[in-house]
Structure 1
């Protein structure tokens, strides 16, 4: 744990003050463990890592100006010289286990598993799929002279499912495009009919159901 001294104020180690305030708020004593005075006048408090928990580095999570180093982090070791100033051990030399209250404050929260939200219309998907299959088959088998009209009717009927959110536009437009071409219509004819008819059907059905475009 890194408890730095406020460089702008030579009177008090601000990190130590905020950590002490945290201990007081939680009703805990300031832990006594292996402590190293840093070159800047701050402190490093060392604890043994808890079992079965992988803690990570933090900055200001516990309290302002209080950082922690754990998995993937590092600190300057006791005895090191930085700018001619030695990192010195102060207080107890023995490392103590990380207190439980600090461990709980440092363990990342578990993600909440929320059930997937299924749009209301999707509950009737078998009916929607049947309608899509029925209209696509009708376009594919439409007789000459009725092909474009059948495509138009299918797009108008299925557009309401796009408006309600049961189908995406691509889920309607692509199979109808293939069905129209399979029946003998040109790709351009299919695109033109589908684009204009779906635009109308989606807008018309959104207006009827009060769904914003």
Structure 2
């Protein structure tokens, strides 16, 4: 490696460490990342015939997001063990912030793609917000080298948010417990992650409750003291109500019908019929399941 290349690599490593230490001071657990955005340290169990299901209990580094720490000395030790690291990852779901990352991918259609193609996660999240009636608050926003962005939100202590890719909508991924976000200032093979103008001084905003119900597993419905199953006519009316949904009201009608179903104890045949009816109207399966989950959670929290 030429002297100039070595100097550049050393500078990139030093910058990544400095950014990671700053994040750790803010209570954000970090790990070193390579230029590929993957954890820089390899597993200490990679040579084992049958690797143990270890999450760092062995005391050695190399367990990915499970190595994440806010301790400055531990952060320095991790980066010292990975001098090739040019970035850092921030573990999601950890106290005190319990970070939730909403990864919005923006990709233009390739020339060979038919029908437009491409992905616009920013527009997709906006459409979800309008459909479900929530507003994305001003929050820390990181611009990715590919033209997308990461929104930093916080979640409550009693909700575990899983990782998902495209479940809410194409181009909308979620980083929750067990996941990590590439931190601003990280240098990758595609470019540098940077804070969006005007968001550097913000704190991660609380996740809107409606969005939280869409990305988190639904809470089990609260048992009713005296659930009264709907009559066959009432159940059929709910299904017809969903089947007759005009474009633009399919999600709203399904949500209302599902709430009425949960009021009566949520009979499985009725929920299955509502699901089939919603799919028949052309509502995508991920939206159907998310709307039913939202109805279940909201009705469970309603006295």
Alignment TM-score, normalising by the size of structure 1: 0.47
Larger helix fraction of residues: 1
Structure possessing the higher radius of gyration over alpha carbons? 1
Alignment TM-score, normalising by the size of structure 2: 0.34
